[in-house]
Amino acid sequence: MDMVLTNIGLLATPVGNSARKGAAQREIALIPNAVIGIKDGKIAFVGREQGDAQQAESAQGDATQLIDCGGRLVTPGLVDSHTHLVFGGWRQKELALKLEGKSYLDILKAGGGILSTVEHTRAASEDELVEKGSALLSEMLSFGVTTCEAKSGYGLNMADELKQLRVMRTLNATHPVDVVSTFMGAHAIPVEYEEGRDGYIELLINEIIPAVSREGLAEFCDIFCETAVFTPDESRRILLAAARCGLTPKAHADEIDPVGGAEMAAGVGAISAEHLIEASDEGIKALADSGVIAVLLPATSFYLDKPFARARRMVDSGVAVAVATDFNPGSSPSLNMQFAMNLACLKYKLTPAEALTAVTLNGAAAINRADKCGSIEVGKQADLVIWDAPDLEYIFYRYGSNLAHKVIKGGVVV
Ligand code: IZC
Ligand code: ZN
């Protein structure tokens, strides 16, 4: 073994290589007095300190780094399955507009919102964006995030969308946090195409999506299916074109208005539908029937002062639910996954066990990584959080503090 974690008060993890739904979302493994062995960056051994002590001891060689967890809780590293990590500038100026009562879509229609971040992102160099993204990833890691997804969508032209995606590729290669890339050129209609939105959709379908695919710069294609942004028909067309180029569909669906985004996502065979604040009963049923993962973003509801997605109903209807931050400069300027976890319990009424699955294995499944991370099982990446907490309830209840004591990524304390 390269590393052995001893004196784990409680090990809590979901189990398996795929999303957990319905009652299975709360069926997690809870092992008191656990021990974990790590070899070559992967989990090599998981057991109980007493029962498996001999095995644990023989697993330790001279070179083994021993970590005494001091009776603390250990979980898988957190997976933030929905972020807009790479962007220029911030949008603190919109706070005053919000306080005056302007809505998110009012600000976007007036040329602010996403379009203001597009201006700043286009103006930033690749190096500047790497430097900023790297600092943000380090902050995420300090909260326990070991894998995150990142979406483009602040370039809205060939050069700047590819620039954003190259930044993500560099970040993935240079930062300990794994970064999984999603192309989201269909995030807004850029100002150049205000008078001819079809021209932008043609550009996406005929030029930018094929280029992203050719250069292997993204695994997924997402779209903002929303009032005044992209209609369900436009979304379907773009996502099906992306799928033909090998990009797996995802969708921002029913975030602000119930436009049938969930049904659209189910219809195109998306891996996930995200937000779903206003998803209809039919939409939820469509997700359950087609096995689309719901990626819910409670910090966005909090920041936009909107209702919270009907997570309880989704779990009870057999939809696999993941929870993420939606970190972005407009509607969720927080990358704190622990805050999203608190809200998942307090506002979504998920149990701690369901919420743990939502921020680990189900998040991993939403970005096609459930065979590599999201649970503490032999063969998976050694991505772990040692919490300043004696049990699982504690981390969902003590909001406002950073409770991550140590974070281990690929077998290394980071
Ligand atoms: O920059 O406003 N909802 N896209 C869809 C966002 C929020 C990000 C932004
Ligand atoms: Zn988003």
Give, for all 414 residues of the chain, the pLDDT tens digit.
Answer: 999 999 999 999 999 999 999 999 999 999 999 999 999 999 999 999 876 555 666 666 666 899 999 999 999 999 999 999 999 999 999 999 999 999 988 898 888 899 999 999 999 999 999 999 999 999 999 999 999 999 999 999 999 999 999 999 999 999 999 999 999 999 999 999 999 999 999 999 999 999 999 999 999 999 999 999 999 999 999 999 999 999 999 999 999 999 999 999 999 999 999 999 999 999 999 999 999 999 999 999 999 999 999 999 999 999 999 999 999 999 999 999 999 999 999 999 999 999 999 999 999 999 999 999 999 999 999 999 999 999 999 999 999 999 999 999 999 999
As a whole number of angstroms, the distance between CA 314 and CA 280 comes to: 11
Quote the ligand 2 centre to 330 CA distance (angstroms): 10
CA-nearest residue for atom 5, ligand 1, is 224
Tell me the pTM: 0.97
Segments of 63-109 assigned E as strands: 65-68, 73-76, 78-80
**Do 369 and 271 form a contact (C-beta atoms < 8 A)?**
no
Segments of 65-152 assigned E as strands: 65-68, 73-76, 78-80, 145-151
Quote the ligand 1 centre to 72 CA distance (angstroms): 37
Provide the CATH number for the domain formed by 78-366 in this structure: 3.20.20.140
Q: Does the beta carbon of 330 sit less than 6 angstroms from any atom of ligand 1?
A: yes
Side-chain-side CA neighbours of 383 within 13 Å: the count stands at 25
Domain boundaries, the chain: 3-76+375-413, 78-366
Q: Does the beta carbon of 328 sit less than 6 angstroms from any atom of ligand 1?
A: yes
Question: Residue 105: nearest ligand to its CA?
Answer: 1
Look up the CATH superfamily of 3-76+375-413.
Answer: Urease, subunit C, domain 1 (2.30.40.10)
Q: What is the mean pLDDT of the chain?
A: 96
325-340 residue pLDDT tens: 999 999 999 999 999 9
| Nearest ligand 1 atom to alpha carbon 87 | 1
**Do 366 and 357 form a contact (C-beta atoms < 8 A)?**
no
- pLDDT of 54 reads 59
Q: Residues 277, 22, 373, CA angle at the centre, nearest 5°?
A: 85
Q: Does the beta carbon of 331 sit less than 6 angstroms from any atom of ligand 1?
A: yes
Test site for ligand 1: of 187, 331, 334, most ligand atoms within 8 A of the Cβ: 331
Q: Does the beta carbon of 224 sit less than 6 angstroms from any atom of ligand 1?
A: yes
- pLDDT of 62 reads 67
Query: Computed from CA positions of residues 93, 96, 98, 101, in that sequence, does the dihedral angle turn out positive or negative?
Result: negative
The DSSP bridge partners found for residue 288 are none
19-29 residue pLDDT tens: 999 999 999 99
Nearest alpha carbon to residue 162 among 105, 122, 202, 104: 122
